[in-house]
Structure 1
């Protein structure tokens, strides 16, 4: 039986994911406790059914938003409640079964050893991954690294990652964005701007076909337009922060040289 963590939890936002949600939650619970799910205005009955399961599982908690507000909004809701209960870090994962639950403990352990770092999953794709999605994310990754002066964001879109809660909550409450599909890349960029060091950890990702129960709410035109607007905003912010980022990079490089000399 897993011992419950008092600092690190798993946070799963969900919107109309169907049966995949229950598979995801069961897998997450096998590897970690506690697991919290934020039902983001789902209308498919999954919230009610999951709440009944939580009544018999003290390691599972279900939070519910009355209307669909977006992934980022659901995560922020969970973060505020988690921080109120004394948690310091949250591992986020999607509810559609794409993320590797068997790597939860490893990611959390890396975070526990590096509490001020941002633990980013870098996806290892299988043969079923849509080529358009795999190729398109390279563009967002390039922009995210430019906007952080090549700090080292391995993948800006992969949502399997561990956040220091206080830093992420402060970033999200400081602007009106990051509430929908723009959440993952903007969170990575803005947390790097705050000085958090990204640690990239490879993790397999699986895309399910509709006949396998796969669910995707990604809209190619709407969400790519959202990402374009997001990177436009971030580039403006990058220009303003460029002197600070350059100074931080130079300071980091000097420290690395000093460590090499001491070694």
Structure 2
């Protein structure tokens, strides 16, 4: 396996819960494109923790953190953030363990983050023909809410989890709020970081949905997770209204800065 030079600032973090066979291919692909890679096993009961730990025994660039019980994606990422911070890492790239995200774009996302460390680098998904229509519809609805809540700051897609976050701003935001621990993690993190002045940078990235016969595994529950997102956007909209006196001048300044950058480039 090709071994990239280890980074002391940027780490790939893969939260994983009963992911199916695709996780091993995902981890191998991530390692071919970055070093180090961490897998946060979030209370999996499918024996994937043991197999991933066996992989890590033969790969210094791979670390496996096993949580005793399932806590949710955001909670798993938060635990990883604390450990990353303690080791001096400043940024994490999060990606799903089920093979949907493009590992071959890791280096490009990381390079963009290294060039602009104060920003978050957000994937803008390009869906394949296998994307469930109902999920795409709800995604568009959630994206519309997130765009309104940030005055169209440029999030693009609020739910796509292939992103690079600055560690400390994200830890700070999550430490102040008890939510953002499960499926609501990605959209709420993006909105709240925008409120804190962390600028989003978007990069297009293909997404592949695998059918069950292709090894695809989905833990998405239409009723439970859409209710969670609805409650999240209600909270965020209330926060948005309270922050409007600050957000409006902040957004106007961002637009002015963007125009000045375009003129100077």
TM-score where L is the length of structure 1? 0.97
Q: 1:124 aligns with which of 123, 126, 130?
A: 126
Q: Supply the distance in 2 between the matched residues of 1:104 and 1:30 (Cα, whole angstroms).
A: 10
* Equivalent position SS for 1:9: strand
Q: What's the offset of the Cα at 1:251?
A: 2.3
Partner deviation per Cα, 1:38-69 (whole Å, 9 max, x = no partner) = 00000000001111110110000000110000
Q: CA deviation at 1:122?
A: 0.7
Aligned to 1:251: 253
Deviations 1:59-112 (A, max 9, x none): 000001100000000000111001101000000000000000000000000000
Report the counterpart of residue 107 of structure 1 in structure 2: 109
For residues 36-55 of structure 1, what are the structure 2 equivalents within 5 Å? Answer: 36-55=38-57
Counterpart in 1 of 2:159?
157
Alignment of 1:54-73 (within 5 A): 54-73=56-75
1:223 is aligned to 225
Counterpart of 2:24 in structure 1 is: 22
Q: Which residue of 2 aligns with 1:5?
A: 7
The list of structure 1 runs, each at least 4 consecutive aligned residues, that deviate by more than 2 angstroms after superposition, is 250-263
Return the offset for 1:130.
Answer: 1.1
* Counterpart pick for 2:84 among 82, 91, 101: 82
How many Å apart are 1:249 and its aligned residue?
Answer: 1.6
Query: Displacement of 1:132 after TM fit?
Result: 1.1
The gaps in structure 1 that reach 5 residues or longer are none
Give 1:254 deviation, angstroms.
3.8
For residues 184-263 of structure 1, the aligned pairs below 5 Å read 184-256=186-258
Note the C-alpha offset of 1:259: 5.8
| SS of equivalent to 1:91 | strand
Q: What is the number of equivalent residue pairs in this alignment? A: 263
Q: What secondary structure sits across from 1:154 in the alignment?
A: coil
Matched position secondary structure for 1:37:
strand
Q: Cα distance 1:216–1:56, how it changes in 2: closer, same or farther (>3 A)?
A: same
Shift of 1:253: 3.4
> Where does residue 143 of structure 2 map in the other structure?
141
CA-based RMSD: 1.3
CA displacement 1:165-191 (0-9 Å, x = unmatched)? 001111111110000000000000000
For residue 129 of structure 1, report the CA deviation from its aligned partner: 1.1
| Structure 2 unaligned spans of 5+ | none
TM-superposed deviation, 1:260: 6.8
Cα deviation, residue 250, structure 1: 2.2
- Taking structure 2 as the reference length, what is the TM-score of the superposition? 0.96
SS of residue in 1 equivalent to 2:7: coil
| 3-state secondary structure, aligned to 1:238 | helix
* Deviation sequence 1:184-240 (CA, Å, 0-9, x none): 000000000000111110000000000111000000000000000000000010011
Partner of 1:35: 37
Residues of 1 paired with 2:264 and 2:84: CA distance?
42
